[in-house]
Amino acid sequence: MTERQKRLLARLVERYVEANRPIPSSLLAGDLGVSPATVRYELAELEALGLVEKPHASAGRVPTPLGLRTYALGLLPPKKLPEGTSRLLADALSRAGTDWPRLAAQMASRLARYPVVLRLLPEETPRIQRVYLTPLGGQRVLAVAVLEGGRLREGVLELPFAPAEALLRQAEERLRGPRRPEELGELKGDSPQMDALFQALAGAFGTARGERFFEGLGEVFSEPEARDPDFLRRLVRWAEGVPPGPLAPPGGVNLLLEGGAAMVQVGFARPAWKGELALLGPERMRYREALSVAYTLGEVLGGKDAG
């Protein structure tokens, strides 16, 4: 693209984000200070590149997913939030203790006004310090594992028998750690019931598991796209199970566009964790604002603005 075409694409996207409708060439001509004929010619060039399209014969143009992606990635690296804001975010996270992931997701959602998913994967599998077992009635037991660093994992065990209280207390003593989650499958009990309990625990806690924090679904209902059930279903699917694939690398930024929805992903690394902060919204996302919030928080979470 020429420099003028880049400016034209950027202005088209920004107008489209504001108006949520095709943008006429006359409006773009006024923004750029050129003739409508010049804008029409350049729009035809952008259309040939697959960056814009004309939904109807008499309508203006809208950006295609490729055009939106080209515009958004052209903003990299994004403009960061003010330094004072970064310090406040870093200070709040430093005081949040083990609740820092949920707080980070809440702050990102409130700043960007979009739903947020924060994914975490341990650099190493955290060891289990203790397991607490509570009968739920019948053959069901609530198991709560206390991990290194104070985090908790919960699971409901379905046993082939109704466990006695004495059996659960005996199992808790046997499960005193620290031990790796995968070691649960190697434990042997003093009875078939104890063996069955240990096997159920291995199924619940025996593999490393990432964590996901989701905040701000209500933010999306202010968008016109929220009237589309397919759009809402896609966002909920992303929130409940982010698309497969590796996390964005620390400091890396990715943009996923699919079926009218957009996801801005920023990777970060913290001691013992690698993670990704993702903002969810319509393709017609406020990219400057979203990228600025995600990029700044990614750096704060990675410790670059902690001081």
Average pLDDT over residues 87-91: 95
Most confident of 146-155, 189-198, 242-251: 189-198
Please give the structure tokens belonging to residue 305. Answer: 């603005």
- Domains in the chain and their CATH numbers? 3-73 (1.10.10.10), 83-123+210-301 (3.30.450.40), 128-205 (3.30.390.60)
How high is the pLDDT of residue 306?
41
**CA gap 249, 254 in Å, rounded:** 9
The answer to whether the CB of 258 falls within 8 A of the CB of 282 is no
State the pLDDT at residue 247: 82
Does residue 256 contact residue 41 with C-beta atoms inside 8 Å? no
Q: Residue 205 — pLDDT band, cuts 50, 70, 90?
A: confident
Average predicted confidence (pLDDT) for the chain: 90
Q: How confident is the model at residue 307 (pLDDT cuts 50, 70, 90)?
A: very low
Give the pLDDT of residue 303.
86
Give 3-state DSSP helix, strand, coil % of the chain, rounded to 5: 45, 25, 30
Rg (Cα) of the chain, in Å, rounded? 25
The confidence score (pLDDT) of residue 190 equals 85
Distance CA 130, CA 174 (A): 10
Amino acid residing at 154: E
Against a cut of 0.85, is the pTM above it? Answer: no
Are the C-beta atoms of residues 220 and 234 closer than 8 Å to each other? no
